[in-house]
Amino acid sequence: MPTDFDRWLSEQFAETGTFTALLVLLRTAEPQVTPVCSSYVNVIGDEIDWDEMTVLLQGAGVAWDAVAFFVESADGGGGLTSVEANRRLEDLAKEIEVDRLHLNRGRLFDRLGRRLQIEEVSPS
């Protein structure tokens, strides 16, 4: 049975073709969401499923509970160069550090490939 991730990737690739996904691995311990590492991948098809993606994410060697994907494309379409992907990843990290709700601008998934959303918590 396809996961939310599988459906999203298929729809995203059908819409944009090749793109770069900025990835942010997250630890969640309510009420906190903490980025633990980030990277990027050029997506050139939609053949990978959630099970295969989690194998790739495990390669980071860090514990994680969720992952955020941010779709980026070069001017005119297609994937980013390494230099541009790294620059955008740095900018993204700064934006997330200032405001965790920025994570909602991407697509968040839990370890089972289900869609997530970050909600603002009011101080008690």
- ∠25-31-36 over CA atoms, to 5°? 20
* Contacting residues for 5 by C-beta, under 8 A, at least 6 apart: 49, 50, 53, 107, 109, 113, 115
* Contacting residues for 84 by C-beta, under 8 A, at least 6 apart: 74
Rg over CA atoms, the chain: 14
Largest distance between two CA atoms of the chain: 48
Residue 121 predicted with pLDDT over 80: no
Under a CB-based contact definition with an 8 Å cutoff, are residues 41 and 23 in contact? yes
Confidence band of 3 (pLDDT split at 50, 70, 90): very high
pLDDT of residue 52: 96
Write the pLDDT tens digit of every residue in 27-70: 998 888 999 999 999 999 999 999 999 999 999 999 999 999 99
